[in-house]
């Protein structure tokens, strides 16, 4: 470190402009995927984003369990047809709603005033998912 002097420059309009123009060598994966300018800093996610992703993952896991149970028991799809996206593929969250793994928005709006706090799903089972212990998810284990 000898011979190397470190000094701080006062922040001026020109310094801020120069810093703003600096480019990163390679954009991070998130910025490449979104095709946005990368500043190599951690993304600022909206409040509740992580919880929403975790909830979505739990719903989709429960949906897979129910679908697997139907397949194992040789049952056919008797519910209404799910909505399709722009590529004519079924919408996963619509399938989850039809199977009863996810509530519709209007049902959630009705429940919101009644609930003061989020339910505690950690009671007495060491399950990592609030949907792991359900009558439907155990049906496929019994059918095996």
Instruction: Quote the tokens at residue 47.
Output: 């409040």
pLDDT tens for each residue of the chain, 144 residues long: 455 554 555 556 665 555 555 666 777 877 888 888 887 776 677 788 889 999 999 999 999 999 999 999 999 999 999 999 999 999 999 999 999 998 766 665 565 565 544 444 433 333 344 444 344 444 444 444
Task: Please tell me the pTM assigned to this model.
Answer: 0.48
pLDDT tens, residue by residue, 11-53: 566 655 555 556 667 778 778 888 888 877 766 777 888 899 9
CB neighbours of 38 closer than 8 A, spacing ≥ 6?
24, 27, 28, 31, 32
DSSP-derived secondary structure letter, 84? B
d(CA 139, CA 126): 19
pLDDT of residue 130: 43
């Amino acid at each position: 470190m000898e011979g190397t002097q470190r000094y701080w420059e006062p922040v001026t309009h020109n310094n801020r402009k120069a810093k703003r123009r600096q480019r990163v060598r390679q954009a991070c994966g998130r910025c490449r995927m979104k095709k946005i300018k990368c500043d190599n800093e951690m993304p600022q996610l909206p409040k509740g984003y992580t919880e929403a992703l975790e909830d979505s993952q739990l719903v989709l896991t429960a949906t897979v369990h129910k679908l697997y149970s139907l397949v194992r028991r040789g049952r056919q799809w008797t519910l209404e047809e799910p909505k399709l996206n722009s590529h004519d593929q079924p919408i996963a969250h619509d399938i989850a709603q039809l199977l009863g793994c996810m509530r519709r928005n209007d049902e959630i709006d009705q429940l919101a005033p009644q609930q003061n706090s989020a339910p505690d799903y950690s009671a007495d089972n060491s399950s990592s998912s609030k949907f792991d212990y359900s009558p439907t998810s155990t049906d496929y284990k019994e059918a095996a």
